[in-house]
Amino acid sequence: MSPVEISIIMVVVLMALIFLRMPIALAMAVVGAGGYMALSGWMPLMAYLKTAIVDKYVSYDLAVIPLFILMGQIATRTGISRAIFTASNAWLGHWRGGLAMASVAGCAAFGSICGSSIATATTMGRVALPEMRRHGYSGALSSGTLAAGGTLGILIPPSVVLIIYALLTEQNIVKLFLAATIPGILAVLGFVLAIGVYVRLFPDEGPAHKGLPLRERIRSLGGVWHVALVFSAVLGGIYGGVFTPAEGASVGVILITITGILMRTLSWRGLFDCVIETAGSTAMIFAIIFGADLFNVALALTRVPTLAADWVATAGIAPMTVLLIVIAFYIVMGCIMDSLSMILLTVPVFFPAFMAMDFGMDPTHQAIWFGIISLIVVELGMITPPVGLNLFMISAMAPDIPTRKIFRGAVPFLIVECLRVAIIVAFPALTFWLVDIVTG
């Protein structure tokens, strides 16, 4: 068989294993090992594995992943999610649909110290969902809001998925964090707008409730001072060049730990549990990284990514057409795969082809633009029926809400997300404008 035929078989087998519910890390590793042997033989595979695992995991850049995960775990344990929601509710809850808007604001704030979509959705869901149901919000609006709000966890910096993208494409992590800022703000504003329109069309699904006096609203901000402190210290230090992303994550872990101890919301036992949970999450992520690395190395031996890039560059296909095809692929696959697996699996294939096209911009800007578009579209897939992962995560938390209502509740946010993708595609400068201002 030719290398191209082997690559096609690898992809087909991988998709089949994924649909058979084999863990994605194991599926990629098995298919990658099989493809490597078919192309180079058993002994070259053993020689590669002898050093690849060590070389991959001793990378200093990877240290930032468990540190940001630990920061998010400690933040969850210290009750920050409840304080964030309480403050957001104090300022927005008296509006029609205000509790849903507060949930979006809470997801954005929690995502700024978490970096995970599913963790953001589940953590804020435990706090916000009972409150919305208690105040008469419909199951559709409540579940749709939290599923969509959860996607902010992988876009609002710091983002674990953006870190992985930076490592895969050899881009600057700080620049990617900056690039995600404006699209993240657009997402929050778009979700709030979607809620506002929805409750105007269906007033009974998001009723207003009595507001708090101004003094109580101001007092509620005292419960989230530590969030502002950690966010400002970590991202401010990283953007200002005071320390690297890994050092910034370390500072964040120390600050959030000290804050939890001083506020007596974090016990030593709780801290130990956070470390154990972080170890489990990190092991899962690193397993996916290794499986994807083995699969992509085998795919690289077929030279398919290089051949695809050369073909795209010489075929005369409009660059925007290729981009739209990639976006459509991401939306479909984002429905059945988590964001990290999608990025690890597809970026090594799509990135060379994308960079071979001429969009009339600097290569660094083009790489950043593609990264943000990929992330946004993967987000969209996570709330796209019938199998959006965030939708099923919320469904598991609220089994009394019919699935069809959860799907209906996601529709306004899907519309907004599609509009945001169109805006980012039409105006690429929104992704690198802030990068150019801060980094020169």
**267 torsion bin: left (phi>0), alpha (psi -120 to 50), beta (else):** beta
- What 8-state DSSP symbol labels residue 204? G
CA 160-85-380 angle, to 5 degrees, is 45
pLDDT score, position 426? 92
**Has residue 31 got a pLDDT over 70?**
yes
End-to-end CA, the chain: 50
pLDDT score, position 21? 77
**Has residue 20 got a pLDDT over 80?**
yes
pLDDT digits over 66-77, tens only? 888 888 888 878
Give the mean pLDDT of the chain: 85
pLDDT score, position 244? 86
Q: Please, which pLDDT band fits residue 293 given cuts at 50, 70 and 90?
A: confident
**Has residue 90 got a pLDDT over 70?**
yes
CA 238-424-183 angle, to 5 degrees, is 35
pLDDT score, position 73? 84
- Backbone torsions φ then ψ of 375, nearest 5 degrees: -65, -45
Query: In the predicted model, what is the mean pLDDT of residues 153-158?
Result: 82
pLDDT digits over 117-148, tens only? 777 888 888 888 888 888 888 989 999 999 89
DSSP string for 181-194:
HHHHHHHHHHHHHH
Beta-carbon-side half-sphere exposure of residue 161 (alpha carbons within 13 Å): 31
pLDDT score, position 213? 80
pLDDT score, position 387? 64
Contact of 142 with 129, CB cutoff 8 Å: yes
360 by DSSP, 3-state: which?
coil
Contacts of 438 (CB under 8 A, 6+ apart): 178, 239
pLDDT score, position 414? 92
pLDDT score, position 423? 95
**Has residue 57 got a pLDDT over 80?**
no
pLDDT digits over 178-190, tens only? 999 999 999 999 9
- Backbone torsions φ then ψ of 228, nearest 5 degrees: -60, -40
CA dist., res. 180 & res. 334, Å (int) = 19
pLDDT score, position 440? 65
pLDDT digits over 382-391, tens only? 888 766 778 8
Tokens standing for residue 179 = 């690039």
Q: Find tokens 């974090």 and name the residue.
A: 266
pLDDT digits over 169-216, tens only? 889 898 999 999 999 999 999 999 999 999 999 988 888 777 778 788
CA dist., res. 296 & res. 134, Å (int) = 49
